[in-house]
Amino acid sequence: MHLRGFINLSFFLTVWLGSAVAIPAAIVCAYYGIYVPAYFIIAQISFRLIFPAKKWDWVRETLCSEKTPYTKTCKIVLEKGATVPEPNSRVITSVAPHGILTCGWSFVVGSDTFASADSKWLVAPAMMNLPFLGDLMRWTGCESADPKSMHKVMKTGANIGLIPGGFNEISLFKRHHHRVFFKARKGFIKYALQYGYSVQPAYCFGEELSYW
């Protein structure tokens, strides 16, 4: 793994885990009479309700870019006849597998190759709702994958990208094995038919080697 890619991944995981424990930790601190962490989190959430975080290209290019690959070999290969979607061309880029660290997904989201598609990258609603991590997700151009948000985005005809397997695919992870979870993930196909979208599958080879 490249040093810069390792630093970026470590930073993301630190923010992710820190955000997950921030609210429970603040509640525990408040229980013992330490109120500063709770005040800080309340202030952060209140600030974002008034001033929502917006896409910040610098963050996307720094954390997940072809210029800062996670591994020595990290590239996007388009099959014969396949092209990067034109902006607002009603294309769903369906990425698999999820893996544990989603290195492949991060690379696709930040790649110069897919930048021209101007896709809306959809992630688990829980990630968007957590303090701090939600900001980071919005800065990289991600949005929530909940039905309401998907309907809102797809009504505009904007391209979207998602990982249909979600948490179930994480639980199937096994090193050196290619495993995906699609059988119970038909909702995005229904929406594609409803809004006239085509589905472009993308597979991340090497994701099965990204964790132990």
pLDDT (tens, 9 = 90+) of the chain, 212 residues, equals 677 777 877 888 899 889 989 889 999 999 899 999 889 988 988 888 888 888 888 887 777 666 666 666 778 888 888 888 999 999 999 998 988 888 888 778 777 788 888 888 999 998 898 888 999 889 888 899 999 999 999 999 999 999 998 888 888 888 888 999 888 788 899 999 999 999 999 998 888 887 77
Q: Where do the DSSP E strands lie in 36-113?
A: 91-96
pLDDT at residue 66, as a whole number: 63
Q: Torsions phi, psi of 43, nearest 5?
A: -65, -40
pLDDT at residue 44, as a whole number: 87
- Rounded to whole angstroms, the Cα distance separating 133 from 61 reads 17
Q: Do you know the residue count of the chain? A: 212
Distinct helix (H) and strand (E) counts, the chain? 10, 5
Whole-structure pTM value: 0.84
24 upstream amide cis, omega within 30 of 0: no
pLDDT at residue 64, as a whole number: 67
| Residue closest to 94 by CA, chosen among 198, 208, 205, 206 | 198
pLDDT at residue 80, as a whole number: 83
pLDDT at residue 185, as a whole number: 83
Helix, strand, coil shares of the chain, percent, nearest 5, are 50, 10, 40
For residue 207, the one-letter residue type is E
Q: Do residues 145 and 151 make contact, with C-beta atoms less than 8 angstroms apart?
A: no
pLDDT at residue 160, as a whole number: 94
pLDDT at residue 161, as a whole number: 92
